[in-house]
Amino acid sequence: MGIIVVALVLGVVGWRLVQAQRFDQRLASDGEAARQVVQTYYTALRDGDAKAALATAAIRPEETSLLTDEVLRSAQEAGGIQNLSVGEAALANDNGARIVGDAGTVAVTYAVGSTPVRIDLPVTRDGGTWRISAATSRVDLGGKGVSRTVNGHQAGADVVELFPGTYTVGAASKLVTLGHPQLLVTAPDPLGAAAQTWGGGDATLSTDSRDAVLGAARASLTSCLAQRSLAPEGCPISIETGSEIQIDESTIRYQLVNDPWSKTEVQLASDGRATGTIDVEYRIEASAKSKGVEGVVRQTYTQSAVTFNADLSGDKPVISWQ
């Protein structure tokens, strides 16, 4: 009987040792697989291979306008992944139950340009394959009303997805400048993280851009005053004479009386347009008829607080009035 008990004990101990060895092997194998996917991810970043980098992620971003090889390569050239060292994986596990979990982290150190980075990159088992949890970072470019470019490429949204690297943010309009255009993305976002806000400063108009807007507004007003109409379309001029006076509009001549531009300030509005306000004083002279009597109308009018807006989406401002 004693021999049987000893044999059973030895059998149980042996079985536990085998299970422990198998658990250790699975933990080591899964840890190495997790390390390898992290290595593959950062290698793809350095190589400028956007598709390969995205393929390592468990979750793919919906916004992909800047997740291209061209943008990624430019971000690496400007200051990309350097001095990469992929450390050990720390995977969730239950040693007592001999279970290896489906999540963990991998310790990684590197530099983005000259900025050192040390992170525990989240990894997850996805359908039996280890992947990094996310490959990109969400960045709010603050482009409400002013379309943004990133490394010279048009951003597809105000909040974009970017790989780690160095970027230059610009305004799509050549007339708009940004105070601090550099954007550094050091690592992918943890799952569920809020978008980072790019702190590059508000968009502004340079002196040359303001002059260009004022020049376009002047030219627009001059064009309005050259028209032969009591209410030129799209212009800050509108005259009503009443039913008793008939104006021969073909004879209309307008003359600007004041200088509406002397104190005009041009501002960049929240919708991305440049805007300003002027007071316009003008004189009209035209042939007219009233109750069968022909004559000439000469009258001065004032339009106060007339607003002009400049569309800055093209190379030159396009003026509209309201």
Q: Give the pLDDT confidence of 244-258 residue by residue, as tens digits.
A: 889 999 999 999 999
Q: Are residues 58 and 174 in the same domain?
A: yes
Whether 182 and 213 map to the same domain: the answer is: no
Is residue 110 domain-shared with residue 222, that is, in the same domain?
no
- Whether residues 145 and 168 share a domain: the answer is yes
Q: Which residues contact 34 (CB under 8 A, 6 or more apart)?
A: 89, 91, 104, 106, 123, 130
- The reported pLDDT for the residue numbered 225 is 96
Q: Which of the pair, 6 or 171, is modelled with greater confidence? A: 171
- Same domain? For 307 and 259 the reply is yes
Q: Cβ distance 207 to 270 under 8 Å?
A: no
Same domain, 272 and 145: no
Domain count, the chain: 2
**pLDDT tens digits for 18-71?**
555 665 577 678 888 999 999 999 999 999 999 999 999 998 999 999 999 999
DSSP string covering 260-316, please? TTTT---EE-TTS-EEEEEEEEEEEEEEEEETTEEEEEEEEEEEEEEEEEEE-SSSS
Cα torsion through 114, 118, 119, 123, rounded to 10: 90
Which has the closest alpha carbon to 227: 191, 247, 197, 252?
252
In this structure, are 263 and 166 located in the same domain?
no
End of a domain among 161, 176, 204?
A: 204
Mean pLDDT of 79-85: 96
**Distances in whole angstroms, Cα of residue 294 to Cα of each of 242, 245, 250, 261, 297:** 16, 10, 15, 37, 10
Who's near 193: CB < 8 A, 6+ residues apart? Answer: 138
Q: What is the pLDDT of residues 180-220, one digit of tens each?
A: 889 999 999 876 677 788 877 678 888 899 999 999 999 99
User: Quick one: pLDDT at residue 15?
Assistant: 45
Quote the CA–CA distance of 27 and 200 in Å, as a whole number. 45
Full-model pTM: 0.73
Q: Coil, strand or helix: which one is 28?
A: helix
Question: Would the pLDDT of 293 be above 70?
Answer: yes
Is 289 in the same domain as 311?
A: yes
Please tell me whether residues 143 and 250 are part of one structural domain: no
Is the same domain home to 269 and 169? no
Assess whether 131 and 174 both reside in one domain.
yes
Range of the domain at 286: 206-321
